[in-house]
Chains A and B, each alone.
Chain A
Amino acid sequence: SQTIHQWPATLVQPVGSPLSLECTVEGTSNPNLYWYRQAAGRGLQLLFYSVGIGQISSEVPQNLSASRPQDRQFILSSKKLLLSDSGFYLCAWTPGLAGEQYFGPGTRLTVT
């Protein structure tokens, strides 16, 4: 069966510090991968998605970036965090075109 992992589960970082969140999927190959963020009191916002190694599409311009160095690994990064980057970050994968998305456990990021 397929599983999706995210780490860390929680993170407290000062403004201006770098960020690296990791997501890995097991039990499948060539998944479509997604990064979402939920800011306080708001819905889920799609940040990035990837259909393959090295292929990243960005939904909104921001100080975040994503990379997919391996088929089942998706990394969310920032060089300098802003206060507005605080939120709950979810990684998700989908096996096909119209299939449902499967979400990871999420990372709660607080930028102080």
Chain B
Amino acid sequence: ILNVEQSPQSLHVQEGDSTNFTCSFPSSNFYALHWYRWETAKSPEALFVMTLNGDEKKKGRISATLNTKEGYSYLYIKGSQPEDSATYLCAFKYNNNDMRFGAGTRLTVKP
């Protein structure tokens, strides 16, 4: 069973707070792990594609780490801003084409 779990389901933080959330995935048949940012009424936007155990990626205030042996990835946001409010999706790719998405973490940043 290919379950991709994201936690927490939702998160409310104050502007300026740093936050992180988790994506758990099967540790076998790993191909890639994707993170997406999905704002209401828009399409999901790719943040990171991670393929190697120990990968760390960074884009501005957002960074992600990957542990393929234990099957988890963390997404960190430093100094959250209201414009960071969105649903953050992770997706586990287990072959050339098949991806399983988690249900997402809905982040709300209050000014």
Contacts and interface: CB of A to CB of B under 8 A. Distances in A.
A97 interface: yes
Contacts of A102: 46
A57 B97 CA distance: 10
Contacts, number: 51
A7 interface: no
Interface residues of A, number: 23
Interface stretch (B13-21, B71-79, B98-106): B98-106
A104 B103 CA distance: 19
Nearest to B90: A43
B49 A51 contact: no
Contact of A99 (B42, B49, B101): B49
B43 A106 contact: yes
Interface in B55-85: none
B107 interface: no
25 contacts: A32-B97, A34-B99, A36-B101, A42-B103, A43-B89, A43-B102, A43-B104, A44-B44, A44-B101, A51-B97, A57-B97, A90-B44, A98-B32, A98-B49, A98-B93, A99-B49, A100-B34, A100-B46, A100-B49, A102-B46, A103-B43, A103-B44, A104-B43, A105-B43, A106-B43
Interface of A: 32, 34, 36, 42-46, 49, 51, 57, 59, 90, 97-106
